[in-house]
Structure 1
């Protein structure tokens, strides 16, 4: 998934609009976006909407290329709040629901949620130094963990850092943990300023250089910039396409090292990266044709 969009769960008037905006993922936010006195009604609205519209995807079934609409996910309240138990009780009957669990600090946090909602698919948000140190353990806590991500506002405060430089190591650590766990490249956290497209573009490109693919958004107008920022450059795509064509012509796609006409050496690692680049370009083009982003 390349683009994700948060929608406040206490704004049911925005649910269909968020889906129509065309992201690959819509996250109904029961946590930070919802005032305390609106938690109950927000839960009722969001769970009912997701239950009526979500498309269960069995584990191991990669169907994103076949989808005509976004994945739906609920960001529940954090484990240290009194609202999580009611959130989980409300979603327990929804098959294979995707839950975004905030402030995860251990594999045990994930497993406690899965005990209550066994069919859930979990995106674990890491928002503290302790959670960051345990990122790989969290990512591998259970096969039902399908993604990990950073909660950068909380993490920045906990680390006492300002600006992207202070988060560079944390972002790299998350990418490594996600890849090592077999979850692929993670999505970036949101850019909190809707009126700052240049900052969104700059930080997205920085994230792309660290290994992220795609990003969450807080407003539909951010989605085109996110897609643009994570699109491989024309040079990257041309080089990847030429390399794969040369590999196919040489008949060594299963392994080995070849020398391209320009003298470059191509080994399996380079071939794998070229395949990722061409696949990413195809996914982005599919999103654009389908009206997503």
Structure 2
């Protein structure tokens, strides 16, 4: 259940605060959070930080079809393997992914699908190159491209990217950011929906969002207790090797149910679930 925190790369004060948070990964943002006039300064600041990275850091570059994006990749290539991964916005083609992998060898590529075309090609993109480490959505751009009013219009796209990640053998995706930093109740509700759809974690744009994300994505005490009962019952009752057991309350446990229970226990222990 990773928590990721975006921070504008041209704001050293905010970067320092982000690095001190409990976020699992800090993402230095060269794209949306940085004004055009500050792109070069932001890139220079990232280069300075990556010379001696204090903790796991990813970098979101600009659209690689632009001069800014190409300059971002060139700067990162000179610093490899300092970064924990590169987040790539507006990805739509397999050839694009393969070219980027050649430019930044040995670095995990985290693809952001932000258009209808990108979503339609989700599995192809997820399997485009061994360097692809994750896929996810960029929901602000995707909403605009699809013309949907709110996140209810993104349910299919969210499910699509979850299925594509699983089919490609990648970790379950993390949710896109919730843009209203004051709406913590809305953030929690959105996270609950995301978790139900198969996401495992979320990106934030403000430190105040991190505890909400972590709380919603953390398995509850009831879920953990139920998972332990399922695993224990299966391990005790399957001595005959039948592959399924009946529970005292009338429930039925087979390998698929046990697998899900073990996923819950892995998440509770802070590990990666078996399905990812």
**TM-score of the superposition, structure 1-length normalised?**
0.87
Q: Closer, same or farther in 2 for the Cα pair 1:118/1:246, shift >3 Å?
A: same
**1:53 alignment partner, SS class:** coil
Which residue in 2 is equivalent to 1:214?
A: 201
Match in the other structure for 2:217: 230
- 8 Å contact from structure 1 (residues 255, 267) kept in 2: no
Q: Select between 227-236 and 134-143 the one with higher mean Cα deviation.
A: 227-236
Aligned-residue CA RMSD (Å): 1.7
- The superposition leaves residues 92-146 of structure 1 with CA deviations (integer Å, 9 ceiling, x where unpaired) of 1333431000000012111111111112210000000000000001111111111
In the superposition, relative to structure 1, how do residues 155 and 248 fare at CA in structure 2: closer, same or farther (>3 Å)?
A: same
Provide the C-alpha distance between the structure 1 equivalents of 2:62 and 2:161, rounded to a whole number of angstroms.
22
The SS at the match of 1:158 is helix
- The equivalences for 1:179-194 within 5 A come to 179-194=166-181
Q: Is 1:158–2:145 an aligned residue pair?
A: yes
User: Do residues 169 (structure 1) and 156 (structure 2) align?
Assistant: yes
TM-score, scaled relative to structure 2:
0.93
Q: Which residue of 1 aligns with 2:234?
A: 247
2:147 and 2:36 map into 1 onto residues whose CA distance is 27
Q: Secondary structure at the match of 1:212?
A: coil
Q: Distance in 1 between matches of 2:203 and 2:47?
A: 21
Task: Find the aligned partners of 1:23 and 1:254 in 2 and give their Cα distance.
Answer: 43
- Corresponding residue of 1:83: 68
Determine if the alignment matches structure 1 residue 203 to structure 2 residue 190: yes
Deviations 1:269-292 (A, max 9, x none): 1111101111111219xxxxxxxx
Count of residues in Structure 1 that have an aligned counterpart in Structure 2: 269
Counterpart secondary structure, 1:146: strand
Secondary structure, counterpart of 1:52 in structure 2:
coil
Aligned equivalents of 2:64, 2:171: Cα separation in 1: 26
Q: Which runs of 5+ in 2 are unaligned?
A: 272-276
Matched, 1:115 2:99: no
> Structure 2 CA distance, aligned partners of 1:73 and 1:238?
35
CA deviations over 1:25-80 (Å, ceiling 9, x no partner): 110000111111111110010122023116xxxxxxxxxxxxxx5x2100001123
Q: Contact conserved, 1:122 with 1:146, CA < 8 A, in 2?
A: yes
In structure 1, runs of 5+ residues without a counterpart are 55-68, 285-293
